[in-house]
Chain A
Protein backbone atom coordinates (compact mmCIF):
# COMPACT_ATOMS: atom_id res chain seq x y z
CA UNK A 1 0.00 0.00 0.00
CA UNK A 2 1.55 3.31 -1.00
CA UNK A 3 1.22 6.53 0.86
CA UNK A 4 -1.41 8.52 -1.08
CA UNK A 5 0.58 11.70 -0.66
CA UNK A 6 3.54 10.12 -2.43
CA UNK A 7 4.01 11.63 -5.91
CA UNK A 8 5.58 10.02 -8.94
CA UNK A 9 8.62 11.70 -10.39
CA UNK A 10 10.91 11.15 -13.35
CA UNK A 11 13.32 9.44 -10.93
CA UNK A 12 10.67 6.78 -10.25
CA UNK A 13 10.55 6.04 -13.97
CA UNK A 14 14.32 5.68 -14.20
CA UNK A 15 14.34 3.53 -11.08
CA UNK A 16 11.64 1.30 -12.67
CA UNK A 17 13.58 1.29 -15.95
CA UNK A 18 16.81 0.28 -14.22
CA UNK A 19 15.19 -2.48 -12.19
CA UNK A 20 13.29 -3.84 -15.21
CA UNK A 21 16.37 -3.88 -17.42
CA UNK A 22 18.44 -5.47 -14.66
CA UNK A 23 15.91 -8.26 -14.16
CA UNK A 24 15.42 -8.65 -17.93
CA UNK A 25 19.14 -9.22 -18.38
CA UNK A 26 19.50 -11.59 -15.41
CA UNK A 27 17.15 -14.35 -16.46
CA UNK A 28 19.33 -17.28 -15.44
CA UNK A 29 17.84 -18.97 -12.41
CA UNK A 30 15.07 -16.38 -12.15
CA UNK A 31 11.99 -18.52 -11.53
CA UNK A 32 9.76 -15.46 -11.28
CA UNK A 33 9.77 -14.83 -15.04
CA UNK A 34 6.74 -16.51 -16.51
CA UNK A 35 6.97 -18.29 -19.86
CA UNK A 36 3.17 -18.41 -19.93
CA UNK A 37 2.89 -14.60 -19.62
CA UNK A 38 5.54 -14.25 -22.35
CA UNK A 39 3.74 -16.59 -24.77
CA UNK A 40 0.37 -14.93 -24.12
CA UNK A 41 1.95 -11.54 -24.82
CA UNK A 42 3.43 -12.70 -28.13
CA UNK A 43 0.08 -14.24 -29.09
CA UNK A 44 -1.88 -11.09 -28.26
CA UNK A 45 0.61 -8.49 -29.52
CA UNK A 46 1.85 -10.42 -32.54
CA UNK A 47 -0.51 -13.06 -33.86
CA UNK A 48 -3.80 -11.30 -33.11
CA UNK A 49 -2.56 -8.06 -34.72
CA UNK A 50 -1.78 -9.73 -38.07
CA UNK A 51 -5.11 -8.92 -39.82
CA UNK A 52 -4.87 -5.21 -38.96
CA UNK A 53 -1.17 -5.07 -39.90
CA UNK A 54 -1.94 -6.84 -43.21
CA UNK A 55 -4.63 -4.31 -44.08
CA UNK A 56 -2.47 -1.28 -43.19
CA UNK A 57 0.66 -2.67 -44.88
CA UNK A 58 -1.21 -3.49 -48.08
CA UNK A 59 -2.72 -0.02 -48.14
CA UNK A 60 0.52 1.81 -47.31
CA UNK A 61 2.51 -0.18 -49.89
CA UNK A 62 -0.08 0.58 -52.54
CA UNK A 63 -0.39 4.26 -51.64
CA UNK A 64 3.37 4.82 -51.66
CA UNK A 65 3.68 3.21 -55.07
CA UNK A 66 0.71 5.16 -56.47
CA UNK A 67 1.89 8.52 -55.12
CA UNK A 68 5.54 7.82 -55.90
CA UNK A 69 4.85 6.71 -59.44
CA UNK A 70 2.62 9.68 -60.22
CA UNK A 71 5.26 12.06 -58.86
CA UNK A 72 8.34 10.41 -60.42
CA UNK A 73 6.74 9.78 -63.81
CA UNK A 74 6.30 13.56 -64.30
CA UNK A 75 10.13 13.71 -64.33
CA UNK A 76 10.40 10.56 -66.41
CA UNK A 77 11.84 8.65 -63.44
CA UNK A 78 9.04 6.14 -62.89
CA UNK A 79 11.60 3.35 -62.69
CA UNK A 80 12.90 4.79 -59.38
CA UNK A 81 9.68 3.90 -57.61
CA UNK A 82 11.42 0.99 -55.86
CA UNK A 83 13.75 3.44 -54.19
CA UNK A 84 10.77 5.22 -52.66
CA UNK A 85 9.36 1.90 -51.47
CA UNK A 86 12.63 1.05 -49.73
CA UNK A 87 13.24 4.55 -48.33
CA UNK A 88 9.74 5.32 -47.17
CA UNK A 89 8.24 1.95 -46.27
CA UNK A 90 11.15 -0.29 -45.32
CA UNK A 91 13.35 2.28 -43.59
CA UNK A 92 10.73 4.38 -41.87
CA UNK A 93 7.06 3.55 -42.06
CA UNK A 94 7.03 -0.17 -41.39
CA UNK A 95 8.51 -0.02 -37.89
CA UNK A 96 6.81 3.28 -37.06
CA UNK A 97 3.32 2.24 -38.12
CA UNK A 98 3.72 -1.19 -36.53
CA UNK A 99 4.78 0.53 -33.31
CA UNK A 100 1.72 2.81 -33.40
CA UNK A 101 -0.55 -0.21 -33.92
CA UNK A 102 1.15 -2.04 -31.04
CA UNK A 103 0.82 1.05 -28.81
CA UNK A 104 -2.88 1.30 -29.66
CA UNK A 105 -3.58 -2.40 -29.10
CA UNK A 106 -1.04 -3.76 -26.66
CA UNK A 107 0.28 -0.66 -24.89
CA UNK A 108 -3.23 0.28 -23.79
CA UNK A 109 -3.97 -3.34 -22.87
CA UNK A 110 -0.81 -3.68 -20.75
CA UNK A 111 -1.39 -0.39 -18.96
CA UNK A 112 -5.07 -1.16 -18.30
CA UNK A 113 -4.41 -4.73 -17.17
CA UNK A 114 -1.61 -3.80 -14.78
CA UNK A 115 -3.57 -0.81 -13.48
CA UNK A 116 -6.56 -3.01 -12.73
CA UNK A 117 -4.27 -5.56 -11.08
CA UNK A 118 -3.02 -2.84 -8.73
CA UNK A 119 -6.58 -1.73 -7.93
CA UNK A 120 -7.69 -5.33 -7.26
CA UNK A 121 -4.60 -5.93 -5.11
CA UNK A 122 -3.28 -8.64 -7.43
CA UNK A 123 0.17 -7.01 -7.36
CA UNK A 124 0.05 -7.14 -3.54
CA UNK A 125 -0.88 -10.82 -3.83
CA UNK A 126 2.24 -11.53 -5.91
CA UNK A 127 4.40 -9.62 -3.46
CA UNK A 128 2.90 -11.52 -0.54
CA UNK A 129 4.28 -14.70 -2.17
CA UNK A 130 7.67 -13.01 -2.44
CA UNK A 131 7.24 -12.95 -6.22
CA UNK A 132 8.71 -9.90 -7.93
CA UNK A 133 5.95 -8.18 -9.97
CA UNK A 134 8.67 -6.71 -12.20
CA UNK A 135 10.03 -10.16 -13.10
CA UNK A 136 6.66 -11.90 -13.29
CA UNK A 137 4.69 -9.23 -15.14
CA UNK A 138 7.04 -6.67 -16.70
CA UNK A 139 10.04 -8.72 -17.89
CA UNK A 140 7.79 -11.24 -19.65
CA UNK A 141 5.96 -8.37 -21.35
CA UNK A 142 9.21 -6.69 -22.41
CA UNK A 143 10.39 -9.83 -24.22
CA UNK A 144 6.90 -10.57 -25.55
CA UNK A 145 6.37 -7.11 -27.06
CA UNK A 146 9.92 -6.92 -28.46
CA UNK A 147 9.59 -10.32 -30.16
CA UNK A 148 6.14 -9.44 -31.49
CA UNK A 149 7.38 -6.07 -32.83
CA UNK A 150 10.21 -7.79 -34.69
CA UNK A 151 7.88 -10.35 -36.26
CA UNK A 152 5.17 -7.81 -37.10
CA UNK A 153 7.62 -5.36 -38.71
CA UNK A 154 9.09 -8.08 -40.91
CA UNK A 155 5.57 -9.15 -41.84
CA UNK A 156 4.58 -5.52 -42.54
CA UNK A 157 7.54 -5.17 -44.94
CA UNK A 158 6.65 -8.31 -46.85
CA UNK A 159 2.96 -7.39 -47.20
CA UNK A 160 3.77 -3.74 -48.11
CA UNK A 161 6.13 -4.83 -50.89
CA UNK A 162 3.52 -7.26 -52.22
CA UNK A 163 0.90 -4.50 -51.95
CA UNK A 164 3.22 -2.16 -53.83
CA UNK A 165 3.60 -4.66 -56.64
CA UNK A 166 -0.16 -5.32 -56.79
CA UNK A 167 -0.96 -1.62 -57.05
CA UNK A 168 1.81 -1.07 -59.59
CA UNK A 169 -0.19 -3.35 -61.90
CA UNK A 170 -2.76 -0.56 -62.16
CA UNK A 171 -0.48 1.68 -64.20
CA UNK A 172 2.29 -0.50 -65.57
CA UNK A 173 2.48 -4.17 -66.28
CA UNK A 174 5.66 -4.92 -64.27
CA UNK A 175 6.39 -8.59 -63.78
CA UNK A 176 6.69 -9.70 -60.16
CA UNK A 177 10.23 -10.94 -60.71
CA UNK A 178 11.34 -7.66 -62.29
CA UNK A 179 9.65 -5.69 -59.53
CA UNK A 180 11.39 -7.73 -56.84
CA UNK A 181 14.74 -7.48 -58.62
CA UNK A 182 14.44 -3.69 -58.68
CA UNK A 183 13.39 -3.69 -55.04
CA UNK A 184 16.24 -5.94 -53.88
CA UNK A 185 18.77 -3.82 -55.76
CA UNK A 186 17.66 -0.81 -53.73
CA UNK A 187 17.62 -2.72 -50.45
CA UNK A 188 20.88 -2.15 -48.56
CA UNK A 189 22.40 -3.84 -45.55
CA UNK A 190 21.78 -0.67 -43.54
CA UNK A 191 18.02 -0.97 -44.19
CA UNK A 192 18.02 -4.54 -42.88
CA UNK A 193 19.99 -3.58 -39.75
CA UNK A 194 17.73 -0.59 -39.10
CA UNK A 195 14.74 -2.89 -39.52
CA UNK A 196 16.08 -5.15 -36.81
CA UNK A 197 17.07 -2.41 -34.38
CA UNK A 198 14.03 -0.14 -34.56
CA UNK A 199 11.33 -2.73 -33.73
CA UNK A 200 13.37 -3.95 -30.75
CA UNK A 201 13.85 -0.41 -29.41
CA UNK A 202 10.21 0.52 -30.03
CA UNK A 203 9.01 -2.71 -28.41
CA UNK A 204 11.15 -2.03 -25.35
CA UNK A 205 9.75 1.51 -25.09
CA UNK A 206 6.13 0.36 -25.44
CA UNK A 207 6.45 -2.42 -22.86
CA UNK A 208 8.37 -0.30 -20.34
CA UNK A 209 6.25 2.84 -20.57
CA UNK A 210 2.93 0.96 -20.56
CA UNK A 211 3.99 -1.26 -17.65
CA UNK A 212 5.29 1.71 -15.67
CA UNK A 213 2.08 3.69 -16.15
CA UNK A 214 -0.05 0.66 -15.28
CA UNK A 215 1.94 -0.09 -12.14
CA UNK A 216 1.79 3.59 -11.14
CA UNK A 217 -1.95 3.38 -10.47
CA UNK A 218 -2.48 3.71 -6.72
CA UNK A 219 -5.87 2.58 -5.46
CA UNK A 220 -8.61 4.12 -7.58
CA UNK A 221 -10.02 2.59 -10.76
CA UNK A 222 -10.54 6.12 -12.14
CA UNK A 223 -6.75 6.41 -12.44
CA UNK A 224 -6.61 3.51 -14.90
CA UNK A 225 -7.84 5.39 -18.02
CA UNK A 226 -5.72 8.42 -17.09
CA UNK A 227 -2.62 6.26 -16.83
CA UNK A 228 -3.49 4.50 -20.09
CA UNK A 229 -3.70 7.85 -21.90
CA UNK A 230 -0.32 8.80 -20.46
CA UNK A 231 1.09 5.44 -21.57
CA UNK A 232 -0.04 6.07 -25.16
CA UNK A 233 1.16 9.69 -25.30
CA UNK A 234 4.52 9.00 -23.66
CA UNK A 235 5.12 5.89 -25.77
CA UNK A 236 4.45 7.79 -29.01
CA UNK A 237 6.69 10.70 -27.98
CA UNK A 238 9.54 8.37 -27.04
CA UNK A 239 9.11 6.27 -30.20
CA UNK A 240 9.30 9.33 -32.47
CA UNK A 241 12.28 10.66 -30.53
CA UNK A 242 14.16 7.34 -30.64
CA UNK A 243 13.30 6.99 -34.35
CA UNK A 244 14.93 10.36 -34.99
CA UNK A 245 17.99 9.34 -32.98
CA UNK A 246 18.38 5.96 -34.74
CA UNK A 247 17.91 7.52 -38.18
CA UNK A 248 20.39 10.28 -37.35
CA UNK A 249 22.91 7.72 -36.07
CA UNK A 250 22.45 5.72 -39.26
CA UNK A 251 23.32 8.80 -41.28
CA UNK A 252 26.28 9.64 -39.08
CA UNK A 253 27.64 6.12 -39.37
CA UNK A 254 27.27 6.50 -43.15
CA UNK A 255 25.26 3.39 -43.58
CA UNK A 256 23.35 4.98 -46.42
Chain B
Protein backbone atom coordinates (compact mmCIF):
# COMPACT_ATOMS: atom_id res chain seq x y z
CA UNK B 1 0.00 0.00 0.00
CA UNK B 2 1.41 3.37 -1.02
CA UNK B 3 0.09 6.53 0.66
CA UNK B 4 1.03 9.79 -1.03
CA UNK B 5 0.47 13.25 0.40
CA UNK B 6 0.76 15.86 -2.33
CA UNK B 7 0.95 19.43 -1.00
CA UNK B 8 -1.69 18.67 1.62
CA UNK B 9 -3.01 21.36 3.97
CA UNK B 10 -5.37 19.96 6.60
CA UNK B 11 -7.73 21.36 9.21
CA UNK B 12 -5.46 19.79 11.83
CA UNK B 13 -2.48 21.90 10.83
CA UNK B 14 -0.62 20.12 8.00
CA UNK B 15 0.93 22.83 5.85
CA UNK B 16 1.73 22.00 2.25
CA UNK B 17 2.94 18.51 3.15
CA UNK B 18 4.32 16.29 0.43
CA UNK B 19 5.24 12.83 1.64
CA UNK B 20 5.35 9.26 0.38
CA UNK B 21 4.53 6.44 2.81
CA UNK B 22 5.30 3.02 1.30
CA UNK B 23 3.50 0.75 3.77
CA UNK B 24 4.68 -2.68 2.59
CA UNK B 25 4.50 -4.50 5.92
CA UNK B 26 5.43 -2.08 8.68
CA UNK B 27 6.09 1.60 8.20
CA UNK B 28 7.16 3.61 11.23
CA UNK B 29 6.88 7.39 11.38
CA UNK B 30 9.62 8.56 13.69
CA UNK B 31 8.63 12.02 14.89
CA UNK B 32 10.20 13.11 18.14
CA UNK B 33 7.63 15.88 18.64
CA UNK B 34 4.78 13.50 17.59
CA UNK B 35 2.75 16.52 16.47
CA UNK B 36 3.30 16.22 12.72
CA UNK B 37 3.03 12.43 12.87
CA UNK B 38 -0.34 12.68 14.66
CA UNK B 39 -1.58 15.11 12.02
CA UNK B 40 -0.57 12.66 9.29
CA UNK B 41 -2.42 9.76 10.95
CA UNK B 42 -5.46 11.98 11.65
CA UNK B 43 -5.61 13.00 8.00
CA UNK B 44 -5.40 9.41 6.77
CA UNK B 45 -8.16 8.25 9.11
CA UNK B 46 -10.32 11.28 8.21
CA UNK B 47 -10.32 13.04 11.58
CA UNK B 48 -8.73 16.09 9.97
CA UNK B 49 -10.17 17.43 6.74
CA UNK B 50 -8.02 18.01 3.69
CA UNK B 51 -8.30 21.69 2.84
CA UNK B 52 -6.05 21.63 -0.23
CA UNK B 53 -3.73 19.24 -2.01
CA UNK B 54 -4.41 15.57 -2.54
CA UNK B 55 -4.06 12.34 -0.60
CA UNK B 56 -3.98 9.14 -2.61
CA UNK B 57 -3.76 5.53 -1.53
CA UNK B 58 -2.44 3.11 -4.14
CA UNK B 59 -3.13 5.87 -6.66
CA UNK B 60 -6.79 6.14 -5.67
CA UNK B 61 -8.03 9.44 -4.17
CA UNK B 62 -8.66 9.08 -0.42
CA UNK B 63 -12.41 9.72 -0.60
CA UNK B 64 -12.89 7.12 -3.31
CA UNK B 65 -10.67 4.63 -1.48
CA UNK B 66 -12.81 4.74 1.68
CA UNK B 67 -16.16 4.86 -0.11
CA UNK B 68 -16.29 1.21 -1.21
CA UNK B 69 -16.27 -0.39 2.24
CA UNK B 70 -17.27 0.64 5.76
CA UNK B 71 -14.48 2.55 7.46
CA UNK B 72 -13.64 -0.13 10.08
CA UNK B 73 -12.90 -2.55 7.21
CA UNK B 74 -10.57 -0.02 5.53
CA UNK B 75 -8.63 1.64 8.35
CA UNK B 76 -8.23 0.52 11.93
CA UNK B 77 -6.98 3.17 14.34
CA UNK B 78 -5.36 2.58 17.72
CA UNK B 79 -5.44 5.82 19.71
CA UNK B 80 -2.46 6.74 21.88
CA UNK B 81 -4.76 7.20 24.87
CA UNK B 82 -7.31 4.65 25.99
CA UNK B 83 -10.32 6.19 24.24
CA UNK B 84 -13.66 4.49 24.91
CA UNK B 85 -17.23 5.79 24.97
CA UNK B 86 -17.80 6.26 28.68
CA UNK B 87 -21.57 5.69 28.60
CA UNK B 88 -21.24 2.23 27.03
CA UNK B 89 -19.95 -1.03 28.46
CA UNK B 90 -16.73 -2.51 27.11
CA UNK B 91 -18.73 -5.01 25.04
CA UNK B 92 -20.96 -2.25 23.61
CA UNK B 93 -17.83 -0.25 22.83
CA UNK B 94 -16.32 -3.14 20.89
CA UNK B 95 -19.63 -3.87 19.15
CA UNK B 96 -20.32 -0.28 18.12
CA UNK B 97 -18.56 -0.39 14.72
CA UNK B 98 -20.77 -3.37 13.72
CA UNK B 99 -23.50 -0.75 13.37
CA UNK B 100 -21.56 0.49 10.34
CA UNK B 101 -21.09 -2.86 8.69
CA UNK B 102 -24.70 -3.71 7.96
CA UNK B 103 -23.66 -7.27 8.62
CA UNK B 104 -25.56 -8.84 11.50
CA UNK B 105 -23.82 -12.18 11.00
CA UNK B 106 -20.67 -10.55 12.30
CA UNK B 107 -22.18 -10.72 15.78
CA UNK B 108 -22.09 -14.54 15.75
CA UNK B 109 -18.32 -14.73 15.85
CA UNK B 110 -17.88 -11.67 18.01
CA UNK B 111 -17.50 -13.34 21.42
CA UNK B 112 -15.07 -16.00 20.16
CA UNK B 113 -12.92 -13.46 18.36
CA UNK B 114 -12.83 -11.06 21.30
CA UNK B 115 -11.84 -13.82 23.71
CA UNK B 116 -9.12 -14.97 21.33
CA UNK B 117 -7.64 -11.47 21.00
CA UNK B 118 -7.92 -10.88 24.75
CA UNK B 119 -5.93 -14.06 25.35
CA UNK B 120 -3.27 -12.90 22.92
CA UNK B 121 -2.98 -9.53 24.67
CA UNK B 122 -3.00 -11.16 28.12
CA UNK B 123 -6.28 -9.55 29.14
CA UNK B 124 -8.89 -10.89 31.48
CA UNK B 125 -11.76 -8.43 31.74
CA UNK B 126 -15.47 -8.48 32.40
CA UNK B 127 -16.82 -6.97 29.19
CA UNK B 128 -20.00 -5.87 30.93
CA UNK B 129 -17.96 -3.31 32.91
CA UNK B 130 -17.92 0.38 32.13
CA UNK B 131 -14.59 1.85 30.94
CA UNK B 132 -14.27 4.06 34.03
CA UNK B 133 -13.68 1.02 36.27
CA UNK B 134 -10.89 -0.38 34.06
CA UNK B 135 -7.27 0.73 34.35
CA UNK B 136 -6.01 2.84 31.40
CA UNK B 137 -3.31 0.32 30.29
CA UNK B 138 -5.96 -2.41 29.98
CA UNK B 139 -8.24 -0.05 28.07
CA UNK B 140 -5.32 0.75 25.80
CA UNK B 141 -4.90 -2.97 25.03
CA UNK B 142 -8.64 -3.19 24.29
CA UNK B 143 -8.02 -0.25 21.97
CA UNK B 144 -5.75 -2.57 19.96
CA UNK B 145 -8.38 -5.30 19.87
CA UNK B 146 -11.26 -3.06 18.73
CA UNK B 147 -9.96 -2.35 15.20
CA UNK B 148 -8.48 -5.83 14.80
CA UNK B 149 -11.96 -7.38 15.09
CA UNK B 150 -12.78 -5.93 11.67
CA UNK B 151 -9.69 -7.06 9.76
CA UNK B 152 -8.89 -3.62 8.32
CA UNK B 153 -6.74 -3.17 5.22
CA UNK B 154 -4.35 -0.93 7.16
CA UNK B 155 -3.83 -0.57 10.90
CA UNK B 156 -2.67 2.83 12.11
CA UNK B 157 -1.15 2.87 15.58
CA UNK B 158 -0.44 6.07 17.45
CA UNK B 159 2.32 5.62 20.03
CA UNK B 160 1.84 1.89 20.76
CA UNK B 161 3.79 1.89 24.05
CA UNK B 162 2.06 4.87 25.63
CA UNK B 163 0.43 4.00 29.01
CA UNK B 164 1.86 0.45 28.99
CA UNK B 165 4.28 -1.13 31.46
CA UNK B 166 7.24 -3.28 30.41
CA UNK B 167 5.49 -6.70 30.28
CA UNK B 168 2.55 -5.20 28.41
CA UNK B 169 4.94 -3.59 25.93
CA UNK B 170 6.53 -6.99 25.30
CA UNK B 171 3.09 -8.51 24.72
CA UNK B 172 2.14 -5.78 22.26
CA UNK B 173 5.43 -6.16 20.39
CA UNK B 174 4.91 -9.94 20.15
CA UNK B 175 1.36 -9.52 18.79
CA UNK B 176 2.44 -6.87 16.29
CA UNK B 177 5.32 -9.10 15.18
CA UNK B 178 2.82 -11.86 14.42
CA UNK B 179 0.45 -9.44 12.71
CA UNK B 180 2.93 -7.69 10.45
CA UNK B 181 3.09 -10.50 7.91
CA UNK B 182 -0.65 -10.41 7.27
CA UNK B 183 -1.66 -6.81 7.99
CA UNK B 184 0.10 -3.59 6.90
CA UNK B 185 0.92 -1.44 9.90
CA UNK B 186 1.57 2.31 9.99
CA UNK B 187 3.03 3.17 13.38
CA UNK B 188 3.82 6.55 14.89
CA UNK B 189 6.56 5.98 17.43
CA UNK B 190 10.04 7.06 18.39
CA UNK B 191 10.60 3.99 20.60
CA UNK B 192 13.73 2.06 19.72
CA UNK B 193 11.82 -1.28 19.56
CA UNK B 194 9.99 -0.06 16.46
CA UNK B 195 12.92 1.78 14.96
CA UNK B 196 15.45 -1.05 15.12
CA UNK B 197 14.77 -4.11 13.03
CA UNK B 198 10.98 -4.14 13.42
CA UNK B 199 10.02 -1.77 10.62
CA UNK B 200 10.47 -2.33 6.91
CA UNK B 201 10.46 1.44 6.39
CA UNK B 202 11.21 4.28 8.78
CA UNK B 203 10.11 7.79 7.87
CA UNK B 204 11.91 10.38 9.96
CA UNK B 205 10.11 13.70 10.35
Contact call A31/B85, Cβ cutoff below 8 A:
no
A125 within 8 A of B: yes
Q: Which residues of A contact B99 (CB under 8 A)?
A: 31-32, 34, 131
Contact call A128/B71, Cβ cutoff below 8 A:
yes
Q: Tell me whether chain A's interface is mostly helix, strand or loop, or mixed.
A: loop
A10 within 8 A of B: no
User: Known pairs A124-B79, A131-B97. 15 more at Cβ < 8 A?
Assistant: A1-B48, A31-B99, A31-B100, A31-B102, A40-B87, A120-B86, A121-B79, A121-B81, A125-B79, A127-B46, A128-B47, A129-B72, A130-B46, A130-B66, A130-B72
A175 within 8 A of B: no
Chain B residues within CB distance 8 Å of chain A:
11-13, 38-39, 42, 45-48, 66, 70-72, 75, 77, 79, 81, 83-87, 96-97, 99-100, 102
- With contacts A1-B12, A1-B42, A130-B70 taken as known, whether A124 is within 8 angstroms of B47 at the C-beta atoms is yes
Q: List 18 A-B contacts (CB under 8 A).
A: A1-B11, A1-B38, A1-B39, A3-B12, A31-B99, A40-B87, A120-B83, A121-B83, A122-B83, A122-B84, A122-B86, A124-B47, A124-B83, A127-B45, A128-B71, A128-B77, A129-B96, A130-B72
Q: Which residues of A contact B47 (CB under 8 A)?
A: 1, 124, 127-128
The 8 Å CB contact of B71, one of A113, A120, A129, is: A129
Q: Which residues of B contact A3 (CB under 8 A)?
A: 11-13
The 8 Å CB contact of B100, one of A6, A121, A124, A131, is: A131
Determine the residue in chain A with the shortest Cβ distance to B12. A1
- Please measure, in the bound complex, the distance between the C-alpha atom of A105 and the C-alpha atom of B113, giving whole angstroms: 41
Please list the 6 inter-chain residue pairs (A to B) with the smallest Cβ-Cβ separation, ordered nearest first: A130-B71, A1-B12, A128-B77, A129-B97, A125-B83, A121-B83
Determine the residue in chain A with the shortest Cβ distance to B99. A31
- Please measure, in the bound complex, the distance between the C-alpha atom of A155 and the C-alpha atom of B34, giving whole angstroms: 55
Q: Which A25-80 residues have C-beta < 8 A from chain B?
A: 31-32, 34, 40
Chain A residues within CB distance 8 Å of chain B:
1-3, 6, 31-32, 34, 40, 113, 117, 120-122, 124-131
Contact call A122/B100, Cβ cutoff below 8 A:
no
Q: Which residues of B contact A117 (CB under 8 A)?
A: 85-86
The 8 Å CB contact of B12, one of A2, A126, A131, is: A2
- Please measure, in the bound complex, the distance between the C-alpha atom of A135 and the C-alpha atom of B37, giving whole angstroms: 30
Contact call B71/A122, Cβ cutoff below 8 A:
no
Q: Which residues of B contact A2 (CB under 8 A)?
A: 11-12
CB distance from B7 to the nearest CB of A (A): 18
- Please measure, in the bound complex, the distance between the C-alpha atom of A101 and the C-alpha atom of B29, giving whole angstroms: 51
Q: Which residues of A contact B83 (CB under 8 A)?
A: 120-122, 124-125
CB distance from B3 to the nearest CB of A (A): 17
- Please measure, in the bound complex, the distance between the C-alpha atom of A6 and the C-alpha atom of B45, giving whole angstroms: 21
Q: Which residues of A contact B102 (CB under 8 A)?
A: 31
Contact call B71/A125, Cβ cutoff below 8 A:
no
CB distance from B143 to the nearest CB of A (A): 9
Q: Which residues of B contact A131 (CB under 8 A)?
A: 96-97, 99-100
Determine the residue in chain B with the shortest Cβ distance to A136. B99
Q: Which residues of A contact B77 (CB under 8 A)?
A: 128
